[in-house]
Amino acid sequence: MTDNRSAPAVVALMGPTAAGKTDAALGIADAAVVDLISVDSAMVYRKMDIGTAKPTAEVLARYPHALVDIRDPVDTYSAAHFVADADEAVRCSLDAGRTPVLVGGTMLYFRAFKAGLHRLPGADPALRHELAARAARLGWPALHGELARRDPEGAARIDPYNGQRIQRALEVLELTGRPLGFWWSRTAQSAQQRLGCRLVEVAIEPADRSSLHQRIASRLDEMLRRGLVDEVGALRDDPALSIETPAMRAVGYRQVWRHLDGDYGHDAMVERIRAATRQIAKRQLTWLRGWDGLAGKAVDAPTAVGVVLQNL
């Protein structure tokens, strides 16, 4: 494995939602010659700008981010897609003599990039149909509960409403008798091996949970002010999309969609988004607590910039 200081650095800047990762990335870009690469399973989608906290068009014009706006919402996008796209973006950056900075909060993507992907079994249409039928009867949270009994570690990292990931985790269990985590640990090539780099991993972890919750609430207020409900309404008008489309399962989009369907009022929608976002942050912090190989931790964006620059 290539990890010595003479190898080119690839930065992985991680942290929970609303912790200040984008601000830190922009600070790093102001101080060093870097290329920013988004690690966000929702920012890949066009027309999903407000609810994903995507940097504004003005910010993206000044600080381009690879892997933003590369898919339509009707498309699927997986960890395997991400690794292929991220590897290409990293190689282009290194070939240009720049430092790639992967920044985001989709921890599954970071893990896939770092460890590489094992050749997991392909999709089994009959099994997937059976799981989908059970979910239609019982709801995805019930299947998440089954997964939690069989694979507690894996279930802790999956949203109880993320049907796509719950289905895949149960599918792999049924087909192989082993959880996804077993297969992650038997990957072919790490990022260092694939790319000939040293990985500089830095995490932003706010000092106290209450301040993070306040940042989450304030950011949601700003999203609503900027027109989150109208953004989801426009997506809802697209006949190719439904609430079951993987892109629409993103937090914020699912709750607003159900509000527009008349399932609950505005105040209940806001509270549901806040609660779901806090749960995402909790799962992201769970990932980070068990993360090996961190070069350093920071409590906010300015300190994260310092930690990254010290390790380049």
Distances (CA, A) of 43 to 67, 77, 79, 103, 234: 8, 11, 14, 12, 17
Instruction: Report the pLDDT value the prediction gives residue 233, as an integer from 0 to 100.
Output: 98
Instruction: Report the pLDDT value the prediction gives residue 184, as an integer from 0 to 100.
Output: 67
Instruction: Report the pLDDT value the prediction gives residue 6, as an integer from 0 to 100.
Output: 84
φ/ψ of residue 204, rounded to 5: -95, 120
Q: Are 118 and 195 in contact (CB under 8 A)?
A: no
Rounded CA-CA distance 233/210 in Å is 31
Average of per-residue pLDDT values in the chain: 93
Query: Strands (DSSP E) along 176-298, which ranges?
Result: 198-204, 294-298
- Which secondary-structure segment (H or E) carries 37? strand 34-39
The residues, any chain, with a CB within 8 Å of residue 184's CB and separated by 6 or more, are 111, 115, 118
Q: Using 50, 70 and 90 to split pLDDT, how confident is the model at 187?
A: low
Rounded CA-CA distance 307/28 in Å is 10
Partners of 103 in the beta sheet? 13, 38
Number of CB atoms found within 10 A of residue 154's CB:
21
pTM above 0.75, yes or no: yes
**Rg of the Cα trace of the chain?**
19
The residues, any chain, with a CB within 8 Å of residue 232's CB and separated by 6 or more, are 51, 252, 253, 256, 257, 260
Instruction: Report the pLDDT value the prediction gives residue 185, as an integer from 0 to 100.
Output: 63
**pLDDT exceeding 70 applies to what percent of the chain?**
97
> Higher confidence at residue 130 or residue 48?
48
Asked if residue 225 has pLDDT above 50, the reply is yes
Asked if residue 2 has pLDDT above 50, the reply is no
The residues, any chain, with a CB within 8 Å of residue 231's CB and separated by 6 or more, are 47, 48, 49, 50, 51
Q: What is the mean pLDDT of residues 49-65?
A: 97
Least trusted range by pLDDT, from 11-20, 76-85, 116-125, 154-163:
116-125
> Higher confidence at residue 246 or residue 49?
49
The residues, any chain, with a CB within 8 Å of residue 262's CB and separated by 6 or more, are none
Asked if residue 1 has pLDDT above 50, the reply is no
Asked if residue 116 has pLDDT above 80, the reply is yes
Q: pLDDT for 32-50, tens place per residue? A: 999 999 999 999 999 999 9
Asked if residue 146 has pLDDT above 90, the reply is yes
Rounded CA-CA distance 30/63 in Å is 9
Number of CB atoms found within 10 A of residue 290's CB:
9
